[in-house]
């Protein structure tokens, strides 16, 4: 019989800890949260100090029963849930359940916390247990109450005013607003033409390019040259003035340094996993959880990284010393700075007492553990390992040169810039990726001095057009959520997945687009509940929760202040007009009254203003007079039940379906899909056919769906990958890279260029 019971959240973590703590410990998992608010009105009693009514989560009740049974046989219980607010709250919920069951009499109940699952960290934590921190628990209770009060009161209003099934979230709604506002910016954007003028020259065999920044004594701005005729006249004038030569008037040489990025926080880890590895934020967090909880390395379960939900860039002193020792042993002396490097957190809500995400031991190199990890695990571990190592390495050093060249006179000046790396420093290990930015020029200029004269090979104008701001990627959305203080590190992935699950936004070509539903919901919330989707207000609430967690604020007054204004707003807005209805000039072909554009279950559609008396509807892109009412297929019956067949319109377009639905679920495409003739590489039995997604985008999937769910976005061809041997390749066409043959297997990455970009 075990002497101690230690309770964690995850069963895989339990397996790792068992090997560290031995036979005296029984280790059980709660499998995450054990209690939540009852899912009905009144779960948070706003009239009685916001008392909260909890119930056991049904799916975890059997795990709670196992814990309760084990408690009876031990004297000491350790609650070792995750080291954050959520983990503290789970520990408290477990304690409350055991108290209600009267199982804690003559028992010792303690809280233990470890930020990495290594033997030394676990044994140290168990040796120094503490009490449950109620300030952290109350901060989490306040967060849950706020989310409940917003969701349970706003969602029914959305049902009444827009359509059934919609919901609003306290942090998801400001995130949706970001996506919609960016789309509106793009739609309103007016493209402007502008030109830059360049000089091509050379010295010896080395060519270089310079850009005109001053003409006739005036400094040029972005729109100084804005049409073809103007640039042509300037080019002709400069060619005549220069007479084939340009004179170097100024040479500026500088030595610049670039320091490494800070070690990973949850936010920066998610951003880099999206940019560098092509992961989603959710996928990145799941893999990080696996690395944290422990991997079997040669028969020993080992946690490979520290806790992955953090917004701190601090490293433990012993970790820094180990990293510096590794650099000293494996790199030349110049790669190790004289003193350890420290970083300041950019997040205004950062918990500096925590640590950044790092390997539990820098000595455990990616090469050493590669054989024990899955493809996703090694990719993420290697990225974390390299970033952590790089953050304690010397700065990269560059020689930068700037040349000014006069053409004709000092009133016409071109500038050339170049940069040469003279010492790679941390870049030898790791370099951070950037979102939506141009790569820095690494061009090298020829050695030139003031007074030197060079030949003009060419002067020419280059046409440009201003571009709208880019749509958010997962990485850039996480970055802006953190900058605004919306949500916490543990919530970014769930915010993004919730927006997609509710079909408020879709991710296409790795960029977010708001749906019609998302636009209407956002319009309603920003017009009628402006304060509660305001970025500053959302961030202010996060600050309040941090103060509660730190013991500097009481949680009930924070909820009272919020509820007083919010409930008043709900009362005022219950009779507002239904949004998203636009009256059209067109008359209904059925009854003659005005048609309207409105929001339905699958987006916008056109319907009669006299509804429900008149039930005429049609798709937004339908022809006038066309109806969305099912059309009977003449001369055919359902092959499964002999009922009539009709032509219906669904999320993926028109199809033939049975009138006995849902009893009979027979369907078939209205038009036969185009067969590519390429055998399915997964099931080997079907062929890949062309289909359209609900948003009109082409993709290719197996014709035996749903038995086989293989699909690819790019056109498949019957040609095996020369690198990994996958039975097919695909054709991918982009403006930037032209036409390419691409292996559809993400882990392979083989690409062959077929045709250059136009």
Q: CA 88, 91, 95, 97: dihedral to nearest 10 degrees?
A: 110
Burial of residue 610 (CB within 10 Å: 0-12, 13-18, 19+) is middle
As a whole number of angstroms, the distance between CA 109 and CA 128 comes to 13
Write down the pLDDT at residue 650.
61
Query: Residue 209: enclosing H or E segment and its boundaries?
Result: strand 206-215
Global confidence as pTM: 0.76
What's the CATH code, domain 141-188+470-573? Answer: 1.10.460.10
CATH architecture of 266-390: Orthogonal Bundle (1.10)
Q: Which of 744, 754, 735 is nearest to 715 (CA)?
A: 744
| Helix axis angle, 317-330 to 375-390, nearest 10° | 90
In the chain (758 residues long), the average pLDDT of successive 10-residue segments reads 87 85 92 92 92 94 94 95 93 96 94 91 93 96 94 89 84 95 94 95 93 97 95 96 95 94 95 94 95 89 92 92 97 96 73 80 95 96 97 96 95 95 94 64 82 96 93 95 87 92 89 91 91 90 92 96 94 79 83 82 76 81 56 81 81 75 81 84 90 72 83 91 90 83 86 80
Q: Is-contact 437 449, C-beta < 8 A?
A: no
What lies within 8 Å, CB to CB, of 698 at 6+ separation is 690, 691, 692, 713
Write down the pLDDT at residue 508.
87
Give the CA distances from residue 161 to residues 154, 400, 518, in Å, rounded to whole numbers and listed in that order. Answer: 11, 60, 14
Query: Residue 239: enclosing H or E segment and its boundaries?
Result: helix 228-242
As a whole number of angstroms, the distance between CA 262 and CA 276 comes to 16
What's the CATH code, domain 193-259+396-465? Answer: 2.70.20.10
Query: Residue 598: enclosing H or E segment and its boundaries?
Result: strand 594-600
As a whole number of angstroms, the distance between CA 154 and CA 706 comes to 37
Q: Retrieve residue 366's tokens.
A: 């990616």
Question: Read out DSSP for 433-477?
Answer: --SS-PPPP--------TT-EEEEEEEEEEEEE--PPPPP-HHHH
Q: Where are the domains of the chain?
A: 4-132, 141-188+470-573, 193-259+396-465, 266-390, 582-669, 675-755
**Terminal CA-CA length for the chain:** 74
SS (H, E, C) 249-294: EEEEEEEEEECCCCCECHHHHHHHHHHHHCCCHHHHHHHHHHHHHC
Instruction: Check if CATH label 3.90.1150.10 holds for domain 4-132.
Output: no
Write down the pLDDT at residue 723.
87
As a whole number of angstroms, the distance between CA 73 and CA 314 comes to 41
Could you say which DSSP state residue 538 is in?
Answer: H
Is there a catalytic annotation at residue 372?
no
Active-site choice (78, 307, 472, 532)? 307
SS (H, E, C) 288-335: HHHHHHCEEECCEEECCEECCCCCCCCCCHHHHHHHHHHHHHHCCHHH
Write down the pLDDT at residue 435.
65
Q: Retrieve residue 212's tokens.
A: 């005109």
Is it true that 141-188+470-573 and 266-390 share their CATH fold? no
Write down the pLDDT at residue 575.
82
Q: Is-contact 436 470, C-beta < 8 A?
A: yes
């Amino acid at each position: 019989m075990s002497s101690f019971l230690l309770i964690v959240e995850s069963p895989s973590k339990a397996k790792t800890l068992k090997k560290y703590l031995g036979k005296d410990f029984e280790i059980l998992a709660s499998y995450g949260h054990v209690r939540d608010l009852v899912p009905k009105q009144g779960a948070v009693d706003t009239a009685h100090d916001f008392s909260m009514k909890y119930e056991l989560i049904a799916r975890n009740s059997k795990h709670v029963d196992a814990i309760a049974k084990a408690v009876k046989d031990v004297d000491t219980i350790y609650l070792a849930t995750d080291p954050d607010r959520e983990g503290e709250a789970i520990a408290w919920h477990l304690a409350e359940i055991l108290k209600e069951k009267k199982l804690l009499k003559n028992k010792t109940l303690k809280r233990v916390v470890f930020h990495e699952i290594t033997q030394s960290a676990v044994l140290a934590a168990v040796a120094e247990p503490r009490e449950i921190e109620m300030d952290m628990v109350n901060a989490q209770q306040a967060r849950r109450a706020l989310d409940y009060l917003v969701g349970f009161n706003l969602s029914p209003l959305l049902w009444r005013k827009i359509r059934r099934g919609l919901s609003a979230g306290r942090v998801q709604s400001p995130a949706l607003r970001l996506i919609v506002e960016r789309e509106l910016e793009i739609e309103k954007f007016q493209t402007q033409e502008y030109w830059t003028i360049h000089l091509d020259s050379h010295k010896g065999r080395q060519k270089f390019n310079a850009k005109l920044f001053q003409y006739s004594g005036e400094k040029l701005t972005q729109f100084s040259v804005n049409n073809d005729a103007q640039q042509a006249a300037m080019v002709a004038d400069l060619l005549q003035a220069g007479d084939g030569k340009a004179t170097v008037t100024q040479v500026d040489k500088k030595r610049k340094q670039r320091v490494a990025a800070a070690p990973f926080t949850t936010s920066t880890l998610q951003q880099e996993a999206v940019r560098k590895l092509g992961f989603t934020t959710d996928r990145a967090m799941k893999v990080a959880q696996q690395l944290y909880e422990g991997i079997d390395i040669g028969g020993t379960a080992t946690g490979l990284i520290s806790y992955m939900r953090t917004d701190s860039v601090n490293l433990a002193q012993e970790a820094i010393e180990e990293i510096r020792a590794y650099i000293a042993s494996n790199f030349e002396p110049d790669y190790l700075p004289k003193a350890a490097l420290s970083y300041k957190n950019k997040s205004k809500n950062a918990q500096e007492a925590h640590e950044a995400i790092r390997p539990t031991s820098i000595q455990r190199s990616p090469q050493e553990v590669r054989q024990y990890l899955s493809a996703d695990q090694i990719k993420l571990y290697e990225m974390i390992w390299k970033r952590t190592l790089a953050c304690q390495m010397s700065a990269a050093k560059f020689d930068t040169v700037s040349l000014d060249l006069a053409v004709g006179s000092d009133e016409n000046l071109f500038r050339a810039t170049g940069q040469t790396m003279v010492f790679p420093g941390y870049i030898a290990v790791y370099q951070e990726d950037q979102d939506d930015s141009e790569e820095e020029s690494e061009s090298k200029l020829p050695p030139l001095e003031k007074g030197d004269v060079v030949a003009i090979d060419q002067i020419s104008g280059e046409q440009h057009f201003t571009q709208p701001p880019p749509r958010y990627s997962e990485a850039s959305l996480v970055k802006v959520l953190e900058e605004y203080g919306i949500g916490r590190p543990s919530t970014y992935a769930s915010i993004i997945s919730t927006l997609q699950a509710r079909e408020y936004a879709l991710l296409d070509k790795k960029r977010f687009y708001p749906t019609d539903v998302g636009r209407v919901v956002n319009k309603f919330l920003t017009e009628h509940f402006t304060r509660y989707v305001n970025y500053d207000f959302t961030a202010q609430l996060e600050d309040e929760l941090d103060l509660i967690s730190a013991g500097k604020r009481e949680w009930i007054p924070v909820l009272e202040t919020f509820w007083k204004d919010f409930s008043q707003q709900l009362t005022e807005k219950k009779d507002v007009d239904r949004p998203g209805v636009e009256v059209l000039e067109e008359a209904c072909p059925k009854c003659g009254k005005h048609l309207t554009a409105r929001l339905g279950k699958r987006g916008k559609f056109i319907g009669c203003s006299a509804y429900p008396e008149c039930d005429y509807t049609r798709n937004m892109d339908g022809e006038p007079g066309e109806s969305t009412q099912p059309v009977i297929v003449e001369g055919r019956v359902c092959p499964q039940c002999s009922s009539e067949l009709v032509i219906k319109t669904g999320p993926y377009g028109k199809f033939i379906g049975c009138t006995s639905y849902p009893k009979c679920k027979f369907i078939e495409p209205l038009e036969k899909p185009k067969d590519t003739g390429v055998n399915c590489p997964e099931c080997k039995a079907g062929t890949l056919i062309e289909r359209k997604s609900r948003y009109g985008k082409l993709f290719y999937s197996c014709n035996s769906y749903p038995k086989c769910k293989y699909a690819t976005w790019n056109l498949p061809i019957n040609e095996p990958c020369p690198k990994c041997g996958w039975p097919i390749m695909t054709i991918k066409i982009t403006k930037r890279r032209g036409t390419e043959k691409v292996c559809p297997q993400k882990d392979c990455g083989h690409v062959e260029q077929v045709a250059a970009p136009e």
